Amino acid sequence: MIELFLFNVMGRIINYEIGEEIANGILYIAEGKTNNHGHRTAILRCTCSVVFETSIYYIRSGNTKGCGCKGRGIIHGLSKKKTYKTYQSMMQRCYNKKNIQYDNYGGRGIGVSDEMKNVVKYIEYVESLPNANNKGYSIDRIDNSNNYSVGNLRWATRLEQNTNIRVRKDSNTPYTGISKTKSGRYASKIAYDYKRIHLGRYDSIKEALGVRTAYIIANNLPHKIQEYKEK
C-alpha cells in the first residue's frame, strides 16, 4: 500500500508519496511535525543523501535548497561532473516513484547501499574504476539483480550492458535467451554485436540452455552463464 501524506502548501493540499521528489532533487521520506510558524514539516533526503527536516513550503518556495551541504562546499564543483549526473539518475530510478524507470529499479527492490548514497563517496569510487574516463562507457551493475554497491559497479559499453540483461517480464521461462514455442519445444537464442543468433529448438529447457551455454563458452562471449535448476 502506498503511503500518502497531505500537506497544505501555499494554499493547496498536495499528496506526497514516499520517495517522491519535492523540488531540486530533494525526496520526501516521512511526515514531520508543525513548526513554530504553523508550517507542517517533513523528513526529506537531500541530493547529498543527508536526511533532514524542514517545511515543504520552504523547499517549494525556493527559500531552502537542501540540507545546507551546498553552503558547506560538499556539492560545490560536483554538479558539472558526469559522475554526479549518474548519481542523480541512480537515486531517481531507485527512490522516486514518479520516475519513468522506477518500476524496473526501485519498484523491483533495487536500491543503493548506504555507502553509495553518499554522493562524495560514490563519485570517488566510480571514478577509481577502470574505463571511468573512456568515451562510450557508462555505469552498469555487474549483477543486475543486486543493488548499486561497492563491488557491483563497473563502467561498461552499451554492447557489454546488452549482454547483462535480466529475464524479460514477458518471458515464459526463467532463463534469458530461452523461450517456449507454441509447439511446446524450447527455442535457444543469444544476442551479441547487435545481432540475434538463433541456436535451434529443443525438447527441454535443460537442453536448450546447455546449447546456449556451450555457444557462450566456445565463442568466449561476455554473457553470464545461467545454471539450470531442477524443479
Same domain, 112 and 151: yes
Number of domains comprising the chain: 3
Nearest alpha carbon to residue 222 among 154, 151, 136, 146: 154
Does any domain span residue 215?
yes
pLDDT value for 35 = 64
pLDDT value for 125 = 93
The one-digit pLDDT tens for each residue of the chain (231 residues) are 333 344 444 455 566 667 777 776 676 666 666 666 666 677 777 776 667 777 777 777 777 767 766 655 455 456 667 888 888 888 888 888 888 888 888 888 888 998 888 888 888 899 999 988 788 888 888 887 789 999 999 998 877 766 656 555 567 788 888 888 889 999 998 877 767 889 999 999 999 999 998 998 888 877 777 888 876
Same domain, 186 and 143: no
Could you list the residue range(s) of the whole structural domain that residue 98 is in? Answer: 77-157
Same domain, 88 and 62: no
Query: Domain boundary at 128, 157, 186, which?
Result: 157
Does any domain span residue 110?
yes
Q: Number of C-alpha atoms within 13 angstroms, CB side, residue 230?
A: 0
Query: Domain boundary at 132, 157, 182, which?
Result: 157
Does any domain span residue 162?
no
Does any domain span residue 52?
yes
User: What is the CA angle 22-50-62, rounded to 5?
Assistant: 35
Same domain, 92 and 45: no
Same domain, 220 and 171: yes
**Residue 216: CATH number of its domain:** 3.30.730.10
Query: Domain boundary at 93, 124, 157, which?
Result: 157
pLDDT value for 147 = 92
pLDDT value for 79 = 64
Is pTM beyond 0.75 here?
no
Q: Number of C-alpha atoms within 13 angstroms, CB side, residue 6?
A: 4
Same domain, 90 and 63: no
Does any domain span residue 219?
yes
Number of CB atoms found within 10 A of residue 138's CB: 15
Residues forming beta bridges with residue 166, ordered by sequence position: none
Does any domain span residue 17?
yes
Same domain, 99 and 127: yes
Does any domain span residue 192?
yes
Burial of 27 (0-12, 13-18, 19+ CB in 10 A): buried
Element (H, E) at 218: helix 205-218
Does any domain span residue 113?
yes
Same domain, 88 and 124: yes
pLDDT value for 3 = 39
Same domain, 81 and 62: no
Nearest alpha carbon to residue 87 among 64, 121, 59: 121
